Amino acid sequence: MATIELETKSEVLRRIDVSEKVAGKLRYTTDMIEVEALYVKVVRSAMPHAMIESIDISQAKETPGVIRVITSHDVPGENLIGFFTRDQPLLAEDRVRFIGEAVALVVAENPVSAMTAVNSVKISYKPLPAILDIDSALSPDAIKIHEDGNIKESFVIKKGNVESAFEKSDIVIEGRYSFPYQEHAYLETEACLAMPTEGGITVIGSMQVPFAVERAVRTVLGNAVNKVRVIQAPTGGGFGGKEDAPDEVCAHAALAAYLTGRPALLAYNRKESIIFHPKRHPGYIKRKLGATRDGILTALSETIMLDGGAYMSLTPRVIFQSVATATGPYLIPNVDIEGKGVYTNKVPCGAFRGFGKPQSQFAAELQMDELAKELKMDPLELRLKNLIKEGSELPWGQRLGDGIGILQCAIRVKEMAEWEEKRQKYGVVDSKGIARGIGLALAMHGTSIGPLGIDVGSAIIELDENGKIVVKNSLTEYGQGIYTGWIEIVSRALNVDKGLIEVIYPDTSIMYDSGPTVASRSTAVGGRAIYEAAINFKSAILKAASQMIGVKPHRLSLEGDSIKSIENPNNRLSLKDIASMARKNGQTIKGEAWVNMNQGSYWDREKGRGVPWKSYSFAAHVAEVEVDINSGKVNVVNYYAVHDSGKILKRSLAESQVYGGVVQGLGYALMEDLHFKDGKLLSNSFLDYMIPTFADTPNIYVDFIETYNEDGPFGAKGLGEVPIEPVAPAIANAIYNAIGKPIRAFPFTSERVFSALQGD
Amino acid sequence: MKPFQYLSPIQEFEYLKPRTLDEALSIVSKFNGVAKVIAGGTDLTIALKELLVKPQAVVDINGLKEIRYIRDDGGIIRIGALTTFDEIYRSGLINKYARCLAQAAYNVGTWQIRNLATLGGNIANASPAADGATPLISLDAHVHIKSINNERDVPIIDMFLGPKKSALNSNELITEVYFKKDELANCGWARIGRRNANTISVVNVAVNISLADGKYRAARIGLGSVGPTPLYAKKASEYLIGKEASSATISQAAKIAMDESNPISDIRGTKIYRLSMVKYLTEKLLNNLTYGGIN
Ligand SMILES: Cc1cc2nc3c(=O)[nH]c(=O)nc-3n(C[C@H](O)[C@H](O)[C@H](O)COP(=O)(O)OP(=O)(O)OC[C@H]3O[C@@H](n4cnc5c(N)ncnc54)[C@H](O)[C@@H]3O)c2cc1C
C-alpha cells in the first residue's frame, strides 16, 4: 500500500461535525418529528424472574389518547431478537427474566397518555426463584434461566502443563479479583422513529449497526413488509451500548408503526436507558501465576467468570476476548485459561469499549505488581523481562510478525512519568495524611473483529451531480470523529480539496453492509475500504476525464478541485464540469471496494488455537494518585498514556480517543457501579450512577509509538478501545504503591479504600 | 410540524408569577395547599417530572427582588431566601463571617445549578443531605417565615422534621435566613462525596467555634447525611464549651459527634463508613479551626 506523508505533529484540528454540534443545530432522532408521530412507551417487567399468568390491557386500551396496546400476540414475524443468538422475546410471552424486560407496548397520541396507560397494564406473575449472582447461577440445584442451563458460553486456551510448572515455580501468587458493572452513559439515550411506507417501513434512529437493525426489523415483521430501510440518525455516543440495544428499540418502534400505520417514535429517558441497555460484564477472576526467582513467568491458570444477565447479547465474543487477553502482553509457557459467561436474572451485559479486556487485564496487571513486590523487583522491570516481541509465539500458537511497539511504549511512558524517581519517593504518608503512589499497566488489543465474526468492510465513492465526492460506508459516526478521519484519507488518496468530500450517514438502502462499527475497526477496516474505493474512484474519474479532455488517463493529474493535463495544465476540467458532462452522457463515476479482514485469521475452538487477530495495538499507562488515608479518597493527579496503534492518521483525533478512554476508565476504576436490590436496579439515574467530572480528571499526557501495520490504511491499527483497558489496573497499582497493599476489587471508592486501610 | 414533546410527561398546571411578596403570599394562601412555589426549580422540576408532586398551580417567586439580598444589618447577617448559592459563595460578607456557608455554597452542584439554586429552596426541600443546612446549624441561624397574616422565626434546626419534610405550612414562604455576626468565631465545612464535584454528600460537617484564652467560648457542630434530617451535634458542641483546646479534647468531641449521629446504609455509603467519616471530618475541622491551617 502506498505511503503518503503523514502528519505527526500535534495540530489544532477542526472536526467536520463540530460546529453543528456546538451550535445545537445537529438534528438527532427526537428532533426529527416533522410528521405527526405517535409516542411508544414500553411496559416492563416488575419481576426479576416469573411466569406471566396474564396480561390485562383492557384499561390501558381505554385510556384517552391511546391508539393501540401491543403484546407478543401482535408480532407478525418471529417474536425474537438477539445480536448473535436470537434468545430474547421482543415482547415477553409467558416468562420474564429480568426487571425491565419488555412485556407490552403502548402507542399513544402523546407521552402523558402513553405513561398513564403503561401504568394501567396489569400483569399477573407467578414468581420464580431469582438468580442474582454468578455463584448461585452455577449451583447444581439452581433453576435454569434458559432451557440449556445457566452457562451461556465458555472458551478455553491451554498450553503446556501448568501443574508441573507450578510445582517447579519458585513463587506462586494466587488471588480472586472482581470487577463491577459499567454503564455506557452516552449523552443521547436510545431513540428510534419508524415510518410506514408503501409496503414497507423506514426506520431512523440512534445506532451503531444499521444492518443489524435492518435484520432485527425484518425478523419481527416477517413477511408483513417487503422493504425495510434503516437510516442512522446523528448518534450521541455509543461505546458499544448501541451495538445491540437499537435492535430492540427499533423493532418496537417499527412494530408500532406497522400496526398503527402511522409514524411512531420510541425514545428512552435516562432511567429507562440505564435499566434496559446491556452493560459491561461484572464478575470475578481466579488467577494463579507462577514465576522463577528471577522473575520469569512460568505458568498461569485462570478462571474468568462473567455475569451476563438474562439474555445472550454479545457475551460469547466478550468472553472470548477476556480469555484471549488473559496473559496480558507477556510470554507464559504454560497456561490453562477458561472463561465462562453465566445467565442471571439481571439486565443483560453486552458490548462496551474494551470488550472483556478491561476485566482480564485488571487481574493480570494487578497480579503482576503483586508478583513484583514478592520478588522485590520493579514492576516495570518484571514486565520487560516477560514482554512479547516480534517473532514471539502467543498462547494460541500464533507467531507475531512486525510492528510490536509494546517495548517502546513502556520505555517512553517510563521517561514521561519519571517512573524511577517517583517510584522511589512514593509510598509514604505525609503529615496531612496523604499517601502518594505511582502505578503502571500495559495492554494488548487485537485490531478489528477477528475470526469469530464476519470481518469485511466496504465503501462506495462517487461523484455526484454537483461535482462533490460522496463517500458511502455503513460504518457509523457516533462521536469518534471518523468522518473527519475518512475525509483525510480520501483527500490524501485523491489529492483533492477536503471541502469537496462529503460523507453520508448510513442508509441501508444505498450502501453495502460494512459490518458493525465496533472493535476499533472504523479506521483500520472502514478506512482501508475507503482508501481502496478512492483508488478505484481515481481510475474511474481519470478514465472519464480522459474522454472529455482528450488526453490519456495516465497523462492527467487530479489536484485540488480539477483534473488537468500534465503536459498542458491549461487543458483542464473542474470536478463540477466533469460531473455535469457525465450527467449529460449518462455516465456514473464511482469506485467501490471490499476488504476482507478474515483472510488469514481463524480460530479452532476445540484446541484453543488459531490466529484471532492479524495485528495488535498496544499501550503502556502510568497513573499517579494521592490517597487520603483518613477517608480513603483517591485522587488521580497525573496520567501518562503511550500507545502503539500503528501509523497515526490524525494526531489530535487520536489524542482525543486516548483522553476519552482514560477518563471513562477512570470512572470505571474509581466510582462507577450498579447497585441492585432483589434484582431491582437502584442506581438508575445520574444522581446515583457517578461518572467523572472535570474536577475528577487528572492531567493526561499522551504520546504515540508509530509502528506500521500492513493491513490498515497507511499503516494504521485500531485505537478506539485500547485506551480504556489499562486504566483500572494502572490506578489499582498506584493505590497499591501508595498504601502498600493490593485491593483486588474495584471501583476504588473512598469507602472501599478506607476499609482496605482498616484491614478488612 | 408538530412541536416536539419531551419524552417524560410534562404535567399541566397553572403558572403564576407574582411581583411582590404580598401578592405571592395571597396566592399561596388562596390555593390552600395545592400550589407549589418554584424558586431555582432545581429540586421542584425533578419532582414534577417524576410525578412526585402534582400541583394545580406553580407559583414562580423569581420576581420577588425584595427577598434576594445579603446584608449586614448591624450585628446580624441577613440572607434573602431567594439568594442563590453562587451569590452566597461570591459574597464578601459571607466569606468573612460565615466561611463555612461560602464553602458549602461553592460545593453545591455545578455552576449551572449554583446559578439557580436558592438557599430558601435548599431549606424548604429539607433533604438530610442539604449542603446549606449544616453551616446554618453551626451558625445558629434562624429562618424568617411569612404567611398572609402571620410571621414567625424558627431556629434552623427546627425547620427539618424528616426526610424532605419541613416545618413550613403550605401557605407560608421563607423570606430570610439570619444569624448573629461574631467577629471572634471561625467556621468551616467539609464533605465526603462520591466524586469531586456535583455529588450528594455522603457526609457533610460544619463546625463553628470561637476561642478565648485557649478555651472554647462557643462551639456548634452541624452534621449532614447521617440521620433523617440535618443534625445539630448538641452533646459534642456542649462538651467543647469551656474546655481547654487540645487534641485530646478535639478527638473526644469528634467521637461524641459520631455517637450522636444516626446514619443508614444505602448505595452511597454504609452506616459504618459514615460514622467514621463524621469523626474524621469533625476532628479535621476542629483541628484546622483551632490551630489554623487550611481545610
Ligand atoms: C444536578 C443537581 C445537583 C445538586 N447538587 C446539590 C448539592 O451539591 N447540595 C445540595 O444541597 N443540593 C443539591 N441539589 C439540590 C438543589 O439544587 C438544592 O436543594 C437547591 O438549593 C434547591 O433550591 P431551588 O431554589 O432550586 O428550589 P426549588 O426547586 O425551586 O424548590 C424546592 C422546594 O422548596 C420550595 N421553596 C423554594 N423556595 C421557597 C421559599 N422561599 N419559601 C417556601 N418554599 C420554597 C419549593 O416549593 C419546593 O418544594 C442539586 C440538584 C441538582 C439538580
Does A627 map to a domain?
yes
Q: Which of the residues A630, A634, A674, A760 would you substitute to probe the B interface, choosing the one with the greatest number of B C-beta atoms within 10 Å?
A: A630
Out of B15, B43, B49, mutate this one to test ligand 1's pocket (max ligand atoms within 8 Å of CB): namely B43
Domain coverage including residue A621: 283-450+603-757
Does A376 map to a domain?
yes
Distance between B92 CA and the closest CA of chain A, angstroms? 25
Grid coordinates of A551: 488526453
- Residue B19 touches partner A, C-beta closer than 8 Å: no
Cβ(A342)–Cβ(A154) under 8 Å? Answer: no
What confidence tens digit (pLDDT) does each residue in A82-136 have?
A: 998 899 999 999 999 999 999 999 999 988 899 899 999 999 999 999 999 999 9
Half-sphere exposure of A664 (CA within 13 A, CB side): 26
Cβ(B243)–Cβ(B209) under 8 Å? Answer: no
Same domain, A333 and A375: yes
Does A427 map to a domain?
yes
Distance between A132 CA and the closest CA of chain B, angstroms? 17
Grid coordinates of B268: 452511597
Cβ–Cβ of A696/B195 closer than 8 Å?
Answer: yes
Same domain, A348 and A481: no
Same domain, A632 and A580: no
Cβ(B34)–Cβ(B17) under 8 Å? Answer: no
Same domain, A579 and A667: no
Same domain, A367 and A503: no
Cβ(B128)–Cβ(B163) under 8 Å? Answer: yes
- What is the amino acid identity at position A168? K
What confidence tens digit (pLDDT) does each residue in B123-152 have?
A: 999 999 999 999 999 999 999 999 999 999
In DSSP terms, which residues pair with A95 in a beta bridge? A51
Average pLDDT over residues B254-258: 98
Residue-level pLDDT at A711: 76
- Coil vs helix vs strand at A238: coil
Same domain, A469 and A443: no
Grid coordinates of A597: 479482514
Burial class (CB in 10 A: 0-12, 13-18, 19+), A54: exposed
Residue-level pLDDT at B86: 98
- Residue A333 touches partner B, C-beta closer than 8 Å: no
Q: Which residues does A121 contact at the CB level (< 8 Å), separation at least 6?
A: A43, A55, A56, A57, A59, A60, A69, A103, A104, A106
- Whether residue B230 is predicted with pLDDT greater than 60 in this model: the reply is yes
Q: Which of B149, B186, B185, B125 shows the shortest CA–CA distance to B26?
A: B149
- Whether residue A3 is predicted with pLDDT greater than 70 in this model: the reply is no
- What is the amino acid identity at position A153? E
What confidence tens digit (pLDDT) does each residue in A586-614 have?
A: 999 999 999 888 888 888 888 888 998 88
Query: CA A317, CA A448: separation in Å to the nearest integer?
Result: 12
- Whether residue A452 is predicted with pLDDT greater than 80 in this model: the reply is no
Residue-level pLDDT at A760: 62
Alpha helices (H) in A23-133, listed in sequence order: 58-62, 111-120
- Of the partner residues B5, B200, B268, the one whose CB lies closest to the CB of residue A110: B5
- Residue A74 touches partner B, C-beta closer than 8 Å: no
Q: Which of the residues A38, A750, A760 would you substitute to probe the B interface, choosing the one with the greatest number of B C-beta atoms within 10 Å?
A: A750
Beta strand ranges found along A260-369 (DSSP E): 264-267, 283-291, 297-309, 334-343
Cβ–Cβ of A695/B2 closer than 8 Å?
Answer: no
In DSSP terms, which residues pair with A701 in a beta bridge? A640
Query: CA A65, CA B171: separation in Å to the nearest integer?
Result: 36
- Whether residue A451 is predicted with pLDDT greater than 80 in this model: the reply is no
Cβ–Cβ of A671/B195 closer than 8 Å?
Answer: yes
Same domain, A433 and A470: no
Does A183 map to a domain?
no
Residue-level pLDDT at A287: 98
Q: First and final CA of chain A: distance in angstroms?
A: 57
- Residue B270 touches partner A, C-beta closer than 8 Å: yes
Among the residue ranges A317-331, A476-490, A717-731, B145-159, the one predicted with the least confidence is A476-490
Residue that is last in its domain, among A219, A242, A267: A267
Same domain, A444 and A460: no
- What is the amino acid identity at position A12? V
- Residue B4 touches partner A, C-beta closer than 8 Å: yes
- Whether residue A282 is predicted with pLDDT greater than 90 in this model: the reply is yes
**pLDDT band per the 50, 70, 90 thresholds, residue A713:** confident
In DSSP terms, which residues pair with A681 in a beta bridge? A676
Cβ(A94)–Cβ(A52) under 8 Å? Answer: yes
Cβ(A104)–Cβ(A59) under 8 Å? Answer: no
Q: How far away, in angstroms, is B163 Cα from ligand 1 center?
A: 14
Q: How far away, in angstroms, is A187 Cα from ligand 1 center?
A: 24
Query: CA A512, CA A342: separation in Å to the nearest integer?
Result: 35
Q: Which of the residues A274, A754, A760 would you substitute to probe the B interface, choosing the one with the greatest number of B C-beta atoms within 10 Å?
A: A754
Which domain CATH number covers A478? 3.30.365.10
CA of A695: which chain B residue's CA is closest?
A: B196
Query: CA A267, CA A706: separation in Å to the nearest integer?
Result: 42
- Residue B292 touches partner A, C-beta closer than 8 Å: no
User: Checking DSSP bridges between strand B35-38 and strand B57-60, what pairing results, if any?
Assistant: parallel
What confidence tens digit (pLDDT) does each residue in B155-169 have?
A: 999 999 999 999 999
Burial class (CB in 10 A: 0-12, 13-18, 19+), A85: middle
Query: CA B295, CA B292: separation in Å to the nearest integer?
Result: 9
Same domain, A232 and A305: no
Q: Give the Cβ contact number of residue A127 at 10 Å.
A: 10
**pLDDT band per the 50, 70, 90 thresholds, residue A276:** very high
Out of B68, B114, B125, B164, mutate this one to test ligand 1's pocket (max ligand atoms within 8 Å of CB): namely B125
More confident residue, A297 or A521: A297
Please tell me the residue having the least CA distance from ligand 1 atom 4: B109
Residue-level pLDDT at A402: 87
Among the residue ranges A120-134, A233-247, A364-378, B1-15, the one predicted with the least confidence is B1-15
Query: CA A29, CA A24: separation in Å to the nearest integer?
Result: 13
CA of B270: which chain A residue's CA is closest?
A: A751
Does A154 map to a domain?
no
What confidence tens digit (pLDDT) does each residue in B169-213 have?
A: 999 999 999 999 999 999 999 999 999 999 999 999 999 999 999
In DSSP terms, which residues pair with A604 in a beta bridge? A609
What confidence tens digit (pLDDT) does each residue in A507-563 have?
A: 999 888 888 877 778 777 888 899 999 999 999 999 999 999 999 999 999 999 999
Q: How far apart, in Å, are the Cα atoms of A257 and each of A55, A95, A260, A508?
A: 22, 26, 5, 19
DSSP A670: H
Q: How far away, in angstroms, is B180 Cα from ligand 1 center?
A: 24
Pocket residues: Cβ below 6 A from ligand 1: B 36-44, 81, 108-109, 113, 116-118, 120-122, 124-125, 130-132, 168, 173-174, 198
Number of H helices, E strands in chain B: 11, 14
**A458: phi then psi, degrees, rounded to nearest 5:** -145, 160
**How far is C-alpha A471 from the chain's CA centre?**
24
**Inter-chain Cβ pairs, chain A and chain B, closer than 8 A:** 73
Alpha helices (H) in A638-749, listed in sequence order: 651-670, 727-739
Edge-to-edge strand ranges of the sheet holding A572-574: A556-559, A562-565, A572-574
Query: CA B83, CA B177: separation in Å to the nearest integer?
Result: 10
Residue-level pLDDT at B7: 57
- Whether residue B20 is predicted with pLDDT greater than 50 in this model: the reply is yes
Please tell me the residue having the least CA distance from ligand 1 atom 31: B121
User: Over pLDDT 70: what percentage of chain A?
Assistant: 98
Query: CA A138, CA A457: separation in Å to the nearest integer?
Result: 39
**pLDDT band per the 50, 70, 90 thresholds, residue A2:** very low
- Of the partner residues A110, A630, A751, the one whose CB lies closest to the CB of residue B273: A751
Binding-face residues of A in 370-389 toward B, CB within 8 A: none
Q: Which of the residues B205, B251, B267, B288 would you substitute to probe the A interface, choosing the one with the greatest number of A C-beta atoms within 10 Å?
A: B267
- Residue B7 touches partner A, C-beta closer than 8 Å: yes
Out of B58, B112, B113, B166, mutate this one to test ligand 1's pocket (max ligand atoms within 8 Å of CB): namely B113
Average pLDDT over residues A686-700: 96
- Whether residue B293 is predicted with pLDDT greater than 70 in this model: the reply is no
Contacts of A30 in chain B (CB under 8 A): 4, 7
- Whether residue A9 is predicted with pLDDT greater than 50 in this model: the reply is no
Burial class (CB in 10 A: 0-12, 13-18, 19+), A583: middle
Query: CA A579, CA A50: separation in Å to the nearest integer?
Result: 63
**pLDDT band per the 50, 70, 90 thresholds, residue A13:** low
- Whether residue B1 is predicted with pLDDT greater than 60 in this model: the reply is no
**pLDDT band per the 50, 70, 90 thresholds, residue A10:** very low
Residue that is last in its domain, among A532, A565, A596: A596
Grid coordinates of A724: 480504556
Which domain CATH number covers A120? 3.90.1170.50
**pLDDT band per the 50, 70, 90 thresholds, residue A233:** very high
Residue-level pLDDT at A262: 95
Among the residue ranges A316-325, A522-531, B32-41, the one predicted with the least confidence is A522-531
What confidence tens digit (pLDDT) does each residue in A386-413 have?
A: 999 999 999 999 999 888 999 999 999 9
Residue that is last in its domain, among A596, A614, A629: A596
Q: How far away, in angstroms, is B125 Cα from ligand 1 center?
A: 6
Does A239 map to a domain?
yes
Query: CA A649, CA A643: separation in Å to the nearest integer?
Result: 14
Q: What's chain B's average pLDDT?
A: 94
Half-sphere exposure of A131 (CA within 13 A, CB side): 25
DSSP A330: B
Query: CA A213, CA A74: separation in Å to the nearest integer?
Result: 20
ipTM: 0.94
Cβ–Cβ of A631/B1 closer than 8 Å?
Answer: no
Give, to the nearest 10 degrees, the angle between helix A406-417 and helix A379-386: 170
Cβ–Cβ of B273/A754 closer than 8 Å?
Answer: yes
Please tell me the residue having the least CA distance from ligand 1 atom 23: B121
- Whether residue A6 is predicted with pLDDT greater than 80 in this model: the reply is no
Cβ(A199)–Cβ(A225) under 8 Å? Answer: yes
Query: CA A419, CA B210: separation in Å to the nearest integer?
Result: 47
What confidence tens digit (pLDDT) does each residue in A433-450 have?
A: 999 999 999 999 988 777
CB environment B49-81: b (16+ within 10 A), e (fewer)? eeeeeebebbbebeebeebbebeeeeeebbbbb
Residue-level pLDDT at A239: 94
Same domain, A249 and A313: no
Q: How far apart, in Å, are the Cα atoms of A605 and each of A303, A399, A696?
A: 17, 18, 43
Cis peptide before A553 (omega within 30 of 0): no
- Residue A637 touches partner B, C-beta closer than 8 Å: no
Binding-face residues of A in 660-679 toward B, CB within 8 A: 670-671, 675
Q: Give the Cβ contact number of residue A635 at 10 Å.
A: 15
Cβ(A726)–Cβ(A441) under 8 Å? Answer: yes
Query: CA A502, CA A497: separation in Å to the nearest integer?
Result: 11
User: Over pLDDT 70: what percentage of chain B?
Assistant: 96
Same domain, A670 and A552: no
Does A507 map to a domain?
yes
Beta strand ranges found along A180-220 (DSSP E): 191-197, 200-205
Same domain, A399 and A461: no
Does A135 map to a domain?
no
Q: First and final CA of chain B: distance in angstroms?
A: 56
Query: CA B295, CA B281: separation in Å to the nearest integer?
Result: 10
What confidence tens digit (pLDDT) does each residue in A152-187 have?
A: 888 999 999 999 999 999 999 999 999 999 999 999
Q: Which of A513, A149, A450, A146 shows the shortest CA–CA distance to A318?
A: A450
Please tell me the residue having the least CA distance from ligand 1 atom 15: B43
What confidence tens digit (pLDDT) does each residue in A453-478 have?
A: 788 889 999 999 999 999 999 889 88
- Count how many domains chain A has: 3
Q: How far apart, in Å, are the Cα atoms of B158 and each of B143, B168, B228?
A: 9, 10, 13
- Whether residue A8 is predicted with pLDDT greater than 70 in this model: the reply is no
Query: CA A39, CA B34: separation in Å to the nearest integer?
Result: 30
In DSSP terms, which residues pair with A201 in a beta bridge? A196, A228
Please tell me the residue having the least CA distance from ligand 1 atom 43: B173
- Residue B280 touches partner A, C-beta closer than 8 Å: yes
Please give the torsion angle defined by the CA atoms of residues A210, A724, A690 and A114, in that order, rounded to the nearest 10 degrees.
Answer: 10
Residue-level pLDDT at A718: 86
∠ CA A383-A386-A387 to the nearest 5 degrees?
A: 80
- What is the amino acid identity at position A182? Q
DSSP A427: S
- Residue A755 touches partner B, C-beta closer than 8 Å: yes
Burial class (CB in 10 A: 0-12, 13-18, 19+), A143: middle
Residue-level pLDDT at A520: 74
